[in-house]
Amino acid sequence: MSGNEWVYIKDCLDTNWVSYAGPYVDRFERELAAKAGSAHAVAVSSGTAALHMALILAGVGADDEVIMPGLTFVAPANAVRYCGAWPVFTDIRADDWQWDVGLVAEFLDAGCGMRDGRLVNKATGRRIAALLSVHLLGGMGDVEAVAELAARYELPLIEDAAECLGATYKGRPVGAPIPNDKGPLRLVITSFNGNKIITTGGGGAILTEDSATAVRARHLTTTAKADQIEFEHDEVGYNYRMTNIAAALGVAQLEHLEGYVERKRNIAARYAGVFCGTGITVHPEPAHCASTFWMYTVQTTGRARPVIDRLNDRGIQARPIWRPLHRLTPYSGCFVATGMDVADDLCERCVSLPCSVQISAGEQEAVGAHLLENVSSA
């Protein structure tokens, strides 16, 4: 909080515009769309709500399946289940730690087929309803390769850019249209949770090129109220809209976005220097992508857990990365379409390091020294 946050929030309180309507919601949507490179942004109460809404807009329904990476934060899988649909998990890549699109292509080709005019998973008989590409740890996966698959199989594509607002792919920001994209629908979501690159306390957004989709998203996220005065609701709606206070915070935070991304990239470069030649694998930057390095992560040669425990004992807030989703109780019965060796290996050996925009060079060097000391004694 280092800019106009107080001023804009005070303005909400002074004017009594504190809830779902108010000038900051519109302004945040306009300014976010401009920064994210999309025609429209619809601001909602969380990234998870944005995912749920995007899946609804994509027509995902009960007993459908959605193909997604098997290593990520749990929210995208939860959103699939909120629709009554089932996630299908595939592995990620060892080199850039992003979704392995080649494996998705193999599964669509060999594991799926057309039945009664619908693309179905041959093993479960369920309809494949969408692709849900999650960009991981501040980097971006192969956006064009996923879009090309979505177009080939006529599947809606949802991109979860919760962790990478401010990153670019081939110089284009996360919400920018893909040149010559022939897919039926592409929606990009992001999150403004407190741990993200900019925050609204809690919040998220759906980014789209299509004005009708944006209008429908605003309608559905405000309880599908069809009349200003009468309590006329024409669909099952959701109370998912972002508040004016949250949006005011968002407008102030957006003013820092480029500065924060620059600081995160400097932090990543400094850590890379500290670990150079030590045997630690540093956080990779995917091809074609300028990453935000949102959650700076390294891969050790042995098990991460003892190293994390020892760093925590020293007051250094190191963290493991996510557990592969099929290993979580609510997802243990889900269809796993590929091996999960890379996901398992990263889970076993990765450590996320302190990387807040406020961290100093000296603090980073101390973190690096403690990590190296503990890796060699683990």
Ligand X SMILES: Cc1ncc(COP(=O)(O)O)c(C=O)c1O
Q: Which residues bind ligand X (CB under 6 A)?
A: 46-48, 72-73, 75-76, 134, 160, 162-163, 191, 193, 204
Residue 326 CB neighbours (<10 A)? 19
Q: What are phi and psi of 347, to 5 degrees?
A: -60, -40
* Minimum CB–partner distance for residue 260 and ligand X (Å): 17
Tell me how far CA of residue 282 lies from CA of 195, 266, 299, in angstroms. Answer: 21, 14, 7
> In this complex, which beta carbon is closest to ligand X, that of residue 233 or of residue 319?
319
> In this complex, which beta carbon is closest to ligand X, that of residue 58 or of residue 112?
58
In sign, the C-alpha dihedral spanning 253, 259, 260, 261 is positive
> In this complex, which beta carbon is closest to ligand X, that of residue 44 or of residue 371?
44
* Minimum CB–partner distance for residue 270 and ligand X (Å): 24
> In this complex, which beta carbon is closest to ligand X, that of residue 299 or of residue 352?
352
Nearest-CB residue for ligand X: 47
> In this complex, which beta carbon is closest to ligand X, that of residue 291 or of residue 374?
291
> In this complex, which beta carbon is closest to ligand X, that of residue 295 or of residue 304?
295
* Burial class of residue 81 (count of CB atoms within 10 Å of its CB; 0-12, 13-18, 19+): middle
* Minimum CB–partner distance for residue 193 and ligand X (Å): 4
Q: What are phi and psi of 332, to 5 degrees?
A: -70, -25
> In this complex, which beta carbon is closest to ligand X, that of residue 120 or of residue 346?
346
> In this complex, which beta carbon is closest to ligand X, that of residue 197 or of residue 274?
197
> In this complex, which beta carbon is closest to ligand X, that of residue 73 or of residue 275?
73
